[in-house]
Structure 1
Amino acid sequence: MNITILAVGKIKEGYLREGIKEYEKRLKPYCTLRIIEVEEERSQDEPGPAEKEKVLKREGERILGKVPRQGFKIALCIEGERFSSEGMASKIEELALRGISDITFIIGGSLGLSDEVKKVCDIKLSFSDFTLPHQLMRLLLLEQIYRWFKIIRGEPYHK
């Protein structure tokens, strides 16, 4: 299985980089992992609607320039569908059984994802109604991907 995480921005916090490295290491036996970062667009702390749209458009163009044509694409966004860990593991396993071996997860910047990016995705996935920092989301996603592979293989994982 080939997993790509396409994310806006670089990870700034050391503790997040360390956690990400740990899950990259843990995932090596389960998949080929690739993380692609696109530049985050600068904006005001409280952007107005026009500026927000401009930021989403520019980041969206950068993302769309990197989205693989092949495979299954999943947008992480608050309005997406929710799965349990077991449910998402079943979804990943189902994709593999259908011969889909390339899955791309897309994480937007601090303002989310543009509608254009969401339209090219096969599903939208929500982790919570909570607003979560996009940098933390990368670590949370990697932990869940690891958990999904452990579930698929019937291996124990701490709860």
Structure 2
Amino acid sequence: MNIDIVCVGRIKERYLTDAIAEYSKRLSRYCKLDIIEVADEKTPEHASAGVDRQIKAKEGERIAKHLKDGAFVIALAINGKQLSSEELAAKINDLGLRGTSHIQLVIGGSIGLDEAVLKRADYKLSFSKMTFPHQLMRVILLEQIYRAYKINAHEPYHK
């Protein structure tokens, strides 16, 4: 299985880059993982709704360039479906059984994803109704993908 994490912005904090590297290494036994970073836009304080839409549109165009026609695209969105770890594992397993060989998970920038990206997505996934920093979300997502593979392989890790 090929899994891409398409995300807005670069990670600068060492503790986050270390965690991302660790989960990327762990996942290498189970899938081919690529992390694709696109540039983020500077978001001014107290930006209007129109400015927010423009920023999301620019970031969305950058994301769209990396979305592949044959891939199953999962957008991380606060209004998406919330799954347990077991349900995410089953979703990944089911996609593989149905012949999907490429999954792309999309993490938006600090103000979320453009509507065009959300419409392109085959599935919308929410980790919580709470808001998380998009940099931290990358670590959380990688950990949950790793957990899903461990669950599907019936290997110890998941508790």
TM-score, normalising length from structure 2?
0.98
Letter in 1 for 2:80: G
Q: Which residue of 2 aligns with 1:94?
A: 94
Q: Which residue of 1 aligns with 2:120?
A: 120
Q: Which residue of 2 aligns with 1:2?
A: 2
Paired with 1:111 and 1:67, the residues of 2 have a C-alpha distance of 20
Q: Which residue of 2 aligns with 1:148?
A: 148
Paired with 2:18 and 2:99, the residues of 1 have a C-alpha distance of 33
Residues 7-86 of structure 1: pairs in structure 2 closer than 5 A: 7-86=7-86
Letter in 1 for 2:31: C
Deviations 1:80-130 (A, max 9, x none): 001100011001111000010100000000000011000111000000011
Which has the larger displacement, 41-50 or 97-106? 41-50
Instruction: Give the 3-state SS of the residue equivalent to 1:40 in structure 2.
Output: coil
Which has the larger displacement, 76-85 or 43-52? 43-52
Letter in 2 for 1:54: Q
Identity score, percent: 52
Paired with 1:48 and 1:127, the residues of 2 have a C-alpha distance of 27
Q: What 5-or-longer segments of structure 1 have no aligned partner?
A: none
Letter in 2 for 1:86: E
Q: CA RMSD in A?
A: 0.8
Runs of 4+ in structure 1 over 6 Å off? none
Aligned partners of 2:147 and 2:158 also within 8 Å = no
Shift of residue 158, structure 1, vs aligned partner: 4.9
Aligned partners of 2:151 and 2:158 also within 8 Å = no
TM-score, normalising length from structure 1?
0.98
Shift of residue 21, structure 1, vs aligned partner: 0.4
Shift of residue 45, structure 1, vs aligned partner: 2.5
Q: What 5-or-longer segments of structure 2 have no aligned partner?
A: none
Paired with 1:130 and 1:142, the residues of 2 have a C-alpha distance of 18
